[in-house]
Amino acid sequence: MDYVYGPGRNHLFVPGPVNIPEQILRAMNRNNEDYRSPAIPALTKTLLEDVKKIFKTTSGTPFIIPTTGTGAWESALTNTLSPGDRIVSFLIGQFSLLWIDQQQRLNFNVDVVESEWGQGADLDVLASKIAEDKDHTIKAICIVHNETATGVTNNLGTVRKILDNYQHPALFLVDGVSSICAIDFRMDEWGVDVALTGSQKALSLPTGLGIVCASPKAIEASKTAKSLRVFFDWKDYLKFYNLGTYWPYTPSVQLLYGLRAALDLIFEEGLDNIIARHNRLGKATRLAVEAWGLKNCTQKEEWYSDTVTAVVVPSYIDSAEIVRRAWKRYNLSLGLGLNKVAGKVFRIGHLGNVNDLQLLGCLAGVEMILKDVGYPVKLGSGVAAACAYLQNSIPMIPSRI
Amino acid sequence: MDYVYGPGRNHLFVPGPVNIPEQILRAMNRNNEDYRSPAIPALTKTLLEDVKKIFKTTSGTPFIIPTTGTGAWESALTNTLSPGDRIVSFLIGQFSLLWIDQQQRLNFNVDVVESEWGQGADLDVLASKIAEDKDHTIKAICIVHNETATGVTNNLGTVRKILDNYQHPALFLVDGVSSICAIDFRMDEWGVDVALTGSQKALSLPTGLGIVCASPKAIEASKTAKSLRVFFDWKDYLKFYNLGTYWPYTPSVQLLYGLRAALDLIFEEGLDNIIARHNRLGKATRLAVEAWGLKNCTQKEEWYSDTVTAVVVPSYIDSAEIVRRAWKRYNLSLGLGLNKVAGKVFRIGHLGNVNDLQLLGCLAGVEMILKDVGYPVKLGSGVAAACAYLQNSIPMIPSRI
Amino acid sequence: MDYVYGPGRNHLFVPGPVNIPEQILRAMNRNNEDYRSPAIPALTKTLLEDVKKIFKTTSGTPFIIPTTGTGAWESALTNTLSPGDRIVSFLIGQFSLLWIDQQQRLNFNVDVVESEWGQGADLDVLASKIAEDKDHTIKAICIVHNETATGVTNNLGTVRKILDNYQHPALFLVDGVSSICAIDFRMDEWGVDVALTGSQKALSLPTGLGIVCASPKAIEASKTAKSLRVFFDWKDYLKFYNLGTYWPYTPSVQLLYGLRAALDLIFEEGLDNIIARHNRLGKATRLAVEAWGLKNCTQKEEWYSDTVTAVVVPSYIDSAEIVRRAWKRYNLSLGLGLNKVAGKVFRIGHLGNVNDLQLLGCLAGVEMILKDVGYPVKLGSGVAAACAYLQNSIPMIPSRI
Amino acid sequence: MDYVYGPGRNHLFVPGPVNIPEQILRAMNRNNEDYRSPAIPALTKTLLEDVKKIFKTTSGTPFIIPTTGTGAWESALTNTLSPGDRIVSFLIGQFSLLWIDQQQRLNFNVDVVESEWGQGADLDVLASKIAEDKDHTIKAICIVHNETATGVTNNLGTVRKILDNYQHPALFLVDGVSSICAIDFRMDEWGVDVALTGSQKALSLPTGLGIVCASPKAIEASKTAKSLRVFFDWKDYLKFYNLGTYWPYTPSVQLLYGLRAALDLIFEEGLDNIIARHNRLGKATRLAVEAWGLKNCTQKEEWYSDTVTAVVVPSYIDSAEIVRRAWKRYNLSLGLGLNKVAGKVFRIGHLGNVNDLQLLGCLAGVEMILKDVGYPVKLGSGVAAACAYLQNSIPMIPSRI
């Protein structure tokens, strides 16, 4: 089934699914197992303990759910809220839009705060709404930490501050799909009530695990939340946690061993070093975009995303053609512009287990593609700008010193 | 993470997850890919076309959902029914019990027809209910084709006949998790409206795909069904089918390539040959059980399951000890007795990509374990009985003649 | 390339190449690496240190050569002997015959001591020759520890005693291809000068490494040995050992990581436990053969091999048909009878990372095949005999207690 | 065993072992098999037939030997020549030096034609020697097609012409280790008598197969050649070819299936397209070197190698430091300068299954390293030069158009 074979490696620079390191591929290369033997609970126990570290929480309860990010969203919402509940949600791009669509279809009363695509969540509006909401009709704030469609990172600390300023009890629900384990995220410090990610993002696994972490307050809320849920019900998980068998239904043992390997790699590199690496790759990409004379879709530096850069193309170019050409000529996978920015931006994902030289290969490829499609780029310019920064920033590999 | 290492192969004889053939492991041993490139839709198209063959349907619409069997259940129910709908459901073992629990939690009005564990669904009761239901208050019949907890296979053709006899329009929903692709199943011929299975069963893949197939009538029902669903909503799939991109959210490309390999193996062996193989392995197991002087949990021959055999142990033996000992001493994974039959039965799964000599190794192991726990088995008796049958039944391997 | 596909696992019971455990497959599932980076020498250092343990030597020097057993033979001979040197060599089966053929083609003066196939090396003849050889014209004794063609294990301790009794300085060269790491072997204690094995045997790796271990006396002999050798020359290895880079030419990094995994598994199980396991599997097989009413090709108990059993079939049966049928009908791989015993014996390998239930599946298969070819075996008889022994002998798996 | 872990892919740019494509890793991810079953001979037959295509021969006889390039050399020499035979051999770098060392140790009378490292074989000297050799004392010409240490490709067509001009019957033996399947090589057209390569080079497999191809004249010579050989003796292979079982000793089935996958990829891309790709990558690399203001070790354009570029560093820089730094900081593996050019050159391999963006990532890395070690490179300059050429040269991927 390699009917699209091209020589050499595929250069995977979509912001998820991301490259899987060989260590993880090896860990998953295995037969099925009886998940009711003592081995899988023992493994699961370490995973639940360790996965909390990537959320920077000690008090949270993690759920490793055989689903995707979309399912993780549904798990976060239905376990903590009841139909009709008022929630404030920020529409800033395609993924926040999809989450809001889900919120509405799940019958919540969604108070949508919209920003222009390329801008962050309007936290001033949030502050007003919270200030006005003396009766605490707002039950939850739902926010995408990093909007993957536009490369915008929201300031979660500020959200917390707003809630604290008004001692507002709303739950704080965060989509960290393209941020957690790559961009600084602090569940406990920021008082996040539910945070979630997917295995195919910064964890660098295949798709298949929605990882959701709930604060004690969220767990408490789940006891009275009236939204209907069965497959996504935390209650079933908690019951099996208590039994020590952990799984209400069959997990993928391959993904569990893969997650073990992923966490081991993360702890070996160090979570803060990983965040620093993503910051470095993000900056290098932005410097290249600037050198090419192109605009970042993200309108202000405070929102720059370290995991994905959406690049605005001149109006005479169709960004979808860039993505097509990348794949057809250079074996390079870039992200399309979605919805409102379709045709206008293409996206470079710099997320997951990826290093500087991989990114530079991608940037060199983008330069050639830009030329292919008629943009007068100076070949080498973006790579030069990125290298000038990287050559001063890349650390030695600790295990090799 | 092999802290439970024992020499040699693990003998995996739980009725799922089952052994994965090397061809499938190889197919899945791969990096992530951009699922929005032309390659994944092209692959998906072949999968959707070919997966219908294992349901024996030409008119059905398949959904390959990143979930487990439990999620596939939820998909079947919520897409076709509305809260409060009356459904008839058969309680004959742990898995039908769990499905009924889900049905109740999803707010359906479940008319439970209970049988003793070890018996099949009481279709006489069904006939009465259908006969009485002139007003068509029954919206669906939910039945587990093969109850994995007791090794009982229900007669789906009879269900169809009952409905037809009374020209009753109830939807016919079937859990085929431990039957489809192993036990004769005919979606179109039997007028099944929704059938479902999981990747870790007869398909011999890892866990992670819930495969649901809907008849045109079920698709029609989904347009008016009022049950809340988002993640499991067929509408989103159908929308992306129309777009030709197929995926409303990120699939596991590893599982897609694995499913391709699984289907290729199935078509190479031949679906009917696979069903014959399961029948042969089932019979061999039952002959061994008989030779051991033990009882099959399944009370009548008409219900015998060709994918799992639940063996009743004498009352002075704890069947859980058999399962523990199998794992601790013989590197053999057997199925526990669940719920009502906990401690009373252990289960031998003979499901998926497994052959005769593998089963015979398992049976020899079971004999030794029975002796270990104090049951006066004649060593070799079960294997002898199985071999006497198998030696006359095993076909030559076509590719090797 | 699976044009010989049959459902389920292949049952691999040839005496090499043997089953590879998943842990080793995983370790080898990797890209190439620069073997001149610091990583490979560091890995190699641990391998050279640890591989000595499977030879039970502390003073030996191991060579891990990218070759097969045939190459390892050549390495042993050409590094220690000079053309025309008189060596005593024992012809007891096909593999000793092939080694002797190599010895003759390498221009040594081979004093062949022949036994009937099925008997061990005639050590009385050796004793006479050594006693007579006052002038020490015999430069080396070459002996196959375990003759894989007939399932005969020679007594190496006796060889040592004979040499010691006469204070004879002949080198003691041992082919341990189907013994080392499976049958008790003590390089230092028995004063073996060169011992060798291949990766695809008890180490349970793919073919590709010839592992040769040389005593200090053998290393000394290599300095004056006049046999021509370049690829197999130990001198090049020793030079690179001194440099700390270890490899005179490119090794397979996959096999090196695989060997690391193999050694880790060996040390986890314990070398003596592995030897005990092979003894147990050997005994179980012999009990089955006896129960079938068939004869072991090995004529005396003292020579019984714990890694392979050659079974003599009645004269009216062609043993090759048994092997063909095993493969064509049962997906079972047995060993052919070779050369003098072609058509007369078939061989069951019970070597490497294999456990009791795997063997029992094989034995059950052999029973059916015997019936297929017209031998009046009582089905179940061999399995019963094996189980009766095994049920009393199999230890608990330590990691699972 | 990943004690040298660094995030992201290792960038493997040594001229072998090279990157293994996933298709090949998948093909090799398998258990051992009985190589005496009908499956392996059937596979082998296709390999022997197809492997001739990469040598561009129809009349040659291939040998797939479980060894390395060094062993393949020995096979070529010992099967065709007798001790004392005069051979002409060209010393132009480390690998030709090592081959000559082997030739001398194998007791041939080697007439060494030395060139400065960085120059090609001196074919004028060859012409003189051939002209003078009326008595045909020269039995063979041994030449390395592509000297991997200096990046020098010799003109084999000229060698053939010289021999033809004088109707000289000397055998023409070619080391094609770093050329065959990457640089134009025509066994039949150029009348090459023995050509050889290794699996870890352009075939992009792990190390472990020495592939040797012999002309009818070489096969004829092997019948009278008096050099001692056993492991490397073609006679044993030919005997088993005739028997249809193909293997005189145990092959690695993993490598055989891997070779099948490698050949399938080669034929899918097209051998001439592969050669064109290597030419493109070689040119791009040379343009980058020029843009950096550095010198190619190869002194004339006619000798430029399309599989490896040796870059001369200024005298104030130690090239080994470049290689160390590449690995320690950038996860980039470059080739060291060897022997005479140690410290003076580093090498960029652009060999095997590799594409343009991979190379550009490497080139960007080299630029940063050059800056690290104090060379005043203009960052981006090499990448710009390479891109300017590549953007006009890279073809569309045929399977994706």
Report pLDDT for D309: 98
Give the residue from B231, B330, B353 with the most A CB atoms within 10 Å of its CB, the best one to mutate.
B231
Q: Tens digit of pLDDT for each residue in D9-36?
A: 999 999 999 999 999 999 999 999 999 9
Is D111's pLDDT higher than 80? yes
Domains and CATH numbers, chain B: 11-18+270-391 (3.90.1150.10), 22-267 (3.40.640.10)
Report pLDDT for A2: 58
Asked if residues B377 and B371 have their Cβ atoms less than 8 Å apart, the reply is yes
Burial (Cβ within 10 Å: 0-12, 13-18, ≥19) of residue A372:
middle
With CB atoms and an 8 Å threshold, state whether C27 touches A30: no
The dihedral sign for the CA sequence C50, C54, C57, C63:
negative
Which of B25, B31, B38 is the closest to D22 by Cβ?
Answer: B31
Burial (Cβ within 10 Å: 0-12, 13-18, ≥19) of residue C132:
exposed
- Describe the crossing of helices C39-54 and C253-269 by its angle, rounded to 10 degrees: 40
Q: In what order do the strands lie in the sheet with B61-65?
A: B61-65, B210-214, B194-198, B171-175, B138-144, B86-91, B109-114
Burial (Cβ within 10 Å: 0-12, 13-18, ≥19) of residue C388:
middle
CA distance A285 to B29: 30
* Local confidence band at B2 (pLDDT 50, 70, 90 cut-offs): low
What is the C-alpha radius of gyration for chain A, rounded to an integer number of angstroms? 21
Q: Chains with ≥3 Cβ pairs under 8 A against C?
A: A, B, D
- For D27, the closest chain B residue by CA position comes to B26
pTM (2 d.p.) = 0.98
- Residue C228 backbone class (left: φ over 0; alpha: ψ -120 to 50; beta: rest): beta
* Local confidence band at A144 (pLDDT 50, 70, 90 cut-offs): very high
Residues of C within 8 A of D71 (CB-CB) are: 66-67, 231, 249
Residues of B within 8 A of C202 (CB-CB) are: none
H-helix or E-strand spanning residue B185: none
With CB atoms and an 8 Å threshold, state whether A230 touches B105: yes
With CB atoms and an 8 Å threshold, state whether B19 touches A38: no
- Chain centroid to Cα C346, Å, comes to 18
CA distance C135 to B159: 94
Q: Tens digit of pLDDT for each residue in B354-398?
A: 999 999 999 999 999 999 999 999 999 999 999 999 999 999 999
HEC per residue, C231-299: CCCHHHHHHHHHHCCCCCCCCCHHHHHHHHHHHHHHHHHCHHHHHHHHHHHHHHHHHHHHHCCCEECCC
Q: By C-alpha distance, which of A308, A311, A388, A299 is closest to A351?
A: A308
Q: How many CB atoms lie within 10 A of CB C61?
A: 19
Is A1's pLDDT higher than 70? no
Asked if residues C361 and C337 have their Cβ atoms less than 8 Å apart, the reply is no
CA distance A126 to A353: 35
Q: Chains with ≥3 Cβ pairs under 8 A against B?
A: A, C, D
Report pLDDT for D200: 98
* Structural tokens at position D78: 């010992």
Mean pLDDT of B167-186: 98
Q: Tens digit of pLDDT for each residue in C140-179?
A: 999 999 999 999 999 999 999 999 999 999 999 999 999 9
With CB atoms and an 8 Å threshold, state whether A368 touches D394: yes
Q: What is residue B264's three-state secondary structure?
A: helix
Q: By C-alpha distance, which of C199, D380, B65 is closest to A381?
A: D380
Report pLDDT for C2: 57
Which stretches of chain C score pLDDT less than 70?
1-2
Chain B residues with at least one Cβ partner in D under 8 Å:
22, 25-27, 29-31, 38, 400
Q: Tens digit of pLDDT for each residue in B234-279?
A: 999 999 999 999 999 999 999 999 999 999 999 999 999 999 999 9
CA distance B30 to D29: 11
Report pLDDT for A3: 73
Is D3's pLDDT higher than 90? no
Angle at D382 between CA D378 and CA D386, to 5 degrees: 155
Residues of C within 8 A of D210 (CB-CB) are: none
With CB atoms and an 8 Å threshold, state whether D253 touches C206: yes
Distance from CA of C300 to the nearest CA of D (A): 28
Which of A18, A68, A231 is the closest to B32 by Cβ?
Answer: A18
CA distance A62 to A77: 15
H-helix or E-strand spanning residue D198: strand D194-198
* Phi, psi values for residue B311, rounded to 5°: -105, 125
Residues of B within 8 A of C386 (CB-CB) are: 364
Which of B14, B27, B255 is the closest to A34 by Cβ?
Answer: B14
Is B304's pLDDT higher than 70? yes
Q: Tens digit of pLDDT for each residue in B27-83?
A: 999 999 999 999 999 999 999 999 999 999 999 999 999 999 999 999 999 999 999
- For tokens 């004088």, name the residue: D166
Which of C22, C31, C400 is the closest to A31 by Cβ?
Answer: C22
* Structural tokens at position C51: 């591989």
Burial D301-318 (b: 16+ CB within 10 A, else e): eebbbbbbbbbbbeeebb
Residue A173's identity, in one-letter code, is L
The answer to whether the annotation marks B105 as part of a ligand binding site is no
What is the DSSP secondary-structure string of A241-293?
HHHT---SS---HHHHHHHHHHHHHHHHH-HHHHHHHHHHHHHHHHHHHHHTT
With CB atoms and an 8 Å threshold, state whether A255 touches B208: yes
Distance from CA of D178 to the nearest CA of C (A): 13
Which of D19, D265, D277 is the closest to A5 by Cβ?
Answer: D265
With CB atoms and an 8 Å threshold, state whether D32 touches C43: no
Binding residues of C for substrate: 347
Q: By C-alpha distance, which of A370, B39, D6 is closest to C39?
A: D6
Pinpoint the alpha helices (H) of A156-252: 156-165, 216-222, 234-243
CA distance C223 to B313: 69
Residues 6+ apart with CB under 8 A from D242: none
- Residue A249 backbone class (left: φ over 0; alpha: ψ -120 to 50; beta: rest): beta
- Residue B210 backbone class (left: φ over 0; alpha: ψ -120 to 50; beta: rest): beta
Q: How many CB atoms lie within 10 A of CB B42?
A: 14
With CB atoms and an 8 Å threshold, state whether C10 touches D31: yes
CA distance A150 to A147: 6
With CB atoms and an 8 Å threshold, state whether C66 touches D69: no
Which of C23, C29, C381 is the closest to B2 by Cβ?
Answer: C23
Report pLDDT for D357: 98
Mean pLDDT of A347-356: 98
Is D47's pLDDT higher than 70? yes
H-helix or E-strand spanning residue A363: helix A356-372
Give the residue from C29, C260, C400 with the most A CB atoms within 10 Å of its CB, the best one to mutate.
C29
With CB atoms and an 8 Å threshold, state whether C34 touches D12: yes
HEC per residue, chain C: CCCCCCCCCCEECCCCCCCCCHHHHHHHCCCCCCCCCCHHHHHHHHHHHHHHHHCCCCCCEEEEECCCHHHHHHHHHHHHCCCCCEEEEEECCHHHHHHHHHHHHCCCEEEEEECCECECCCHHHHHHHHHHCCCCCEEEEEEECEECCCCEECCHHHHHHHHHHCCCCCEEEEECCCCCCCCCCCCCCCCCCEEEEECCCCCCCCCCCEEEEECHHHHHHHCCCCCCCCCCCHHHHHHHHHHCCCCCCCCCHHHHHHHHHHHHHHHHHCHHHHHHHHHHHHHHHHHHHHHCCCEECCCCHHHECCCEEEEECCCCCCHHHHHHHHHHHHCEECECCCHHHCCCEEEEECCCCCCHHHHHHHHHHHHHHHHHCCCCCCCCHHHHHHHHHHCCCCCCCHHHC
- Terminal CA-CA length for chain A: 42
Q: How many CB atoms lie within 10 A of CB C116?
A: 10
* Structural tokens at position A387: 């290298």
Distance from CA of B25 to the nearest CA of D (A): 8
* Structural tokens at position D26: 């998948």
Asked if residues C232 and C78 have their Cβ atoms less than 8 Å apart, the reply is yes
Asked if residues A35 and A64 have their Cβ atoms less than 8 Å apart, the reply is no
Residues 6+ apart with CB under 8 A from B230: A70, A74, A102, A105, A106, B236
With CB atoms and an 8 Å threshold, state whether D34 touches C230: no
Report pLDDT for D2: 58
